[in-house]
Structure 1
Amino acid sequence: MKFLDQAKVYIRSGDGGAGSVSFRREKFIEFGGPDGGDGGRGGDVWVEAVDGLNTLIDYRYQQHFKAKTGVHGMGRNRTGAKGADVTLKVPVGTQVYAEDNETLICDLTEVGQRFLLAKGGNGGFGNQHFKTSTNQAPRRANPGLPGEEMTVWLRLKLIADAGLVGLPNAGKSTFLAAVTAAKPKIADYPFTTLHPGLGVARIDGREFVIADIPGLIEGAHEGIGIGDRFLGHVERTRVLLHLVSALEESPAKAYRTVRGELEAYAHGLAEKPEIVALSQIDTLDADERKKKAAALKKACGRAPFLLSAVTGEGVEAVLRALIAVVEEARQAVPAPTETRWGS
C-alpha cells in the first residue's frame, strides 16, 4: 500500500429540509387547520480515528464529501427524517487543519475519537408553527438552513514511543529490522528509506513502538534531499535514538549536522530526550571504535552506546535505555471523546 501522509479534502454538511404547507382535510372535522410538518435536519460531517489504517491513501481517490439533505416536512404533522451523516475515517495520529494549513482544528490520538467538522443545517418550520388567533390558516413555511462547507487538510503524524534519526545510511532501517518484525528496505545507497516505517520492539517482557524516518542531510529544513517533511512523524515520540554511523569520517560532524536540522525544524524535537549510539561498529577494529566513540562523546556531551544491528552487539542495552525513558513518560490513556469545532 502506498504511503500518503497529507491530503486536502472538501466537505459539506447537508442542508435542512423545507417545512411543509398543508391543511387537515378530514370528514366530519369542521375546522381542519394547518398540519404541515417540519423539515429534517441536514447530515453532519464527522472525522473519526479508527484502527487498522496507517495511511491517508483513500483520500487520494476521493476528495469531496457531502452529507445528505434533510427530508422535507409533510402533511399530517410529519417531520422529515434527518439527512445521513458522513464520517471521514482516518488513522490514529491524524491532525485536521483549516484551509490555510496552519490552523489546527483537531488532533485524533486515540482509536474511537470523533470530531464534528461541519454541522447540518436545521430543518424549516411547517405552517403549523405560524398559526395564531388572527391567522388560523397560514400559508407559509420556512426553508431549511444551508449546511456548512469548508476545505480541510488531513495530516498524519505516526504514533510511536521512540523515533530513529540520523544521516542516510546510519543503520536506522537495519536497526528497526533487527529489533522488530518490520521489513524495511535495506541497501547500501543513501535514502533507501523513502517513507516512515513502524515496528514494535520487545525487551524484558515490555513493548514499545519505534518509528523510522528517511535520513536527514545538511539543509534538510530548506528542502535539500528528501527534506524535513517526515520529521513530523517523530514529533509525538517520547525519546529519540540518534544513530551515527561508525563509517563516518567525522562522527562529531555527523552528529552536529542532524542536531542542527532538529533545531531548525523546531516543534520541540530538539528538546526531546535523546539517546546517542555509534552504529555499525562491526566494521571497525577496537582502536577505531575507541577513537570514534571519544569524538562522538565530545560532540554530544555523554558517552554514546556502541551497537551493531547486524551482530546484535549492544542492541539490548540500547533497547533497555529506550524503554526506561518511554515508561517514565507514559501516562494514562484518556477516554475517546466527541467534540465540535469551536465548542
Structure 2
Amino acid sequence: MAEDKKSFLAYADWKTQFNLLSNEEAGILIKHILSYVNDENPTLPQDDRIIQIAFEPIKLQLKRDLKKYESAKQDKAVNGIIGNLKRWHLDLYEKYIKKEISLEEAVKIASTRKESPTDSSRSAPIANIADTVNDTVNVNDTVTVNDTDINNFLGADAEKKTVDNLCFRSSTPPKEEKEKSSAQKEKAFGKSDFKQALLDRDANEQHVDDWLKVRTAAKASFTQTSLNKLLNECDRNNYPVARAVQACAEYSWRGFEYQWILNKQKYAAGKQSNTTNQSRQERVEEVREFRSDNRQALADRLSQYITSNPE
C-alpha cells in the first residue's frame, strides 16, 4: 500500500469466498488482509491452503486498485503542474502543448524567471519545483512524475496536503483575487460620495435621499460600480439622471434600467386608452338615453294636443 493511502476498497463479491470458510478461518483472513494493506508483510501458515486460496484473488484485486491509485495520483500531479504553467507562464504552456519543449524544460525555464515582490512573498519556491519534478515526455505525450520527489517537495505534512497545492505562484484563485482587488478599490467610495455624484448630475436632493433609503433597506451597496451602472444607463438612453433617481425613489427601485421606464409608460398609455374608450361608451349611452327620453316626451305632448283639440 502507498504510505499516504489510509483506506482500501472491499468488494461485495468477497462474501462468496468468506462463506466457504469457517468463522475462525474468516477471522484469520480478515486479520491477514488488514496486515497486508498496512504493509506488515504477513504470512499464512503453509497448512492453511484454503485461506491462501481465498486470499489470492483478494490480493490481486488490492494490487490492481493500488496501481490505479498511483496512476491517478501521478496524473493529478502532472495536471496540477500543467495547470500552473497555463496560469502563470502561458507562453511556456503553449510551447509545451505544441510539443516544442518538454514539461521538464518548461518548469526549469519558469524557475529562472524573476518573481514580483508580491508573488515571492506568497508563492512556493519555483526553484524547488524544478528540482523536485522528475518527468519525461514520449511520443504519446505521457508524463511520468516521481511520487517521492513530490512528497519531498510537500515536506513532512505531505499526507495532509494534496497535489493541488503544487503552484508556481499564489494559491488564491484568480476570481477571489479579482474580487478582493475590486473591493479594495471601491472601499474609499461611500454613501456620501454616491449622493454627491447624483447631485452633481442635477438630481433633486430629496429624491436622492429617498432613493438612498430604498437602497439601504434593500441592503444594496454604495459603490462606484453601482453608480456607474445607473449613469451609463441614463447616458446610453439619453435619459436625465434626475428623472431616473426620481423614478427609483417613487417606485422603490434599488437600481435603474431604462426599460422599466418604458414599461411604466406603456402601462400608463394602455390604462389611459381604456379610460378613453370607457368615457366614449358612456357618452354614447347618454346620447341614446337622451334621444329615447326626447321621443317619449314628444309623444306625450302630441297625445295631449290631440286630446285637447278633437276634430
The question of a shared fold, defined as TM-score above 0.5 by the shorter chain, is answered with no
**RCO greater where, 1 or 2, for CA within 8 Å and sep 6 or more?**
1
More strand by share: 1
Higher helix share: 2
**Which has the larger Rg?**
2
Normalising by structure 2, what TM-score?
0.19
Length-normalised TM-score, structure 1: 0.18
